[in-house]
Amino acid sequence: MQNYWGIQVKRIGILIIAIILIGGTLLSNAQSQQEVNVTIEGYKFQTSQMPLQLHADTIIRVKNLDNVRHDFGSQMFLNTLTHVESDGVVTYGKGVEGAYVNSGKEATFRLMLDQVGRFQFQCSIHPDMKGEILLLIVDAV
């Protein structure tokens, strides 16, 4: 009987270690994802973002609250592997210019930024609509 309990304790220990390792992996994956939210309202882009880091999975969510269709396009997508979901259509690859976002709808862009800078975006339908996403590295003083 002692052997039985020893084996059971060993199995429970292995199970707990596996759960900790899997949980740590999920946690580290969740932490490596960053998000930028862009709202279109009143023919303007309103951007809210956390400080962005290089080489981290980046999600840009664009929500159109206007009653007309807008475009969200940027040069940042041209040389970067980009995954776009908009109105049930998925576009994937390099050379993506942007996506049209219908009234009341949302588009999601997933990419990995590999250089610092100001990434400008605009609406090709309404050329006066412009905005930017900043990716800066700040050194500790």
Q: Does the pLDDT at position 115 exceed 50?
A: yes
| Tens digit of each residue's pLDDT (9 = 90 or more) over 31-68 | 578 999 999 999 999 999 888 888 899 999 999 999 99
The string of pLDDT tens digits covering residues 77-97 is 988 999 999 988 999 999 899
Q: Which pLDDT score, from 0 to 100, does residue 136 have?
A: 77
Q: How would DSSP label each residue in 54-102?
A: TTSEEEEEEEE-SSS-EEEEEGGGTTS-EEEEETTEEEEES---EEEE-
- Say which residue the tokens 């997933």 belong to: 110
Encoded tokens for 73? 């396009």
- Residue 20 has what DSSP assignment? H
Q: Nearest-CA neighbor of 112 among 85, 88, 76, 138?
A: 76
Q: Taking the domains of the chain in order of start, what are their residue ranges?
A: 1-31, 35-135
CATH code at 35-135: 2.60.40.420
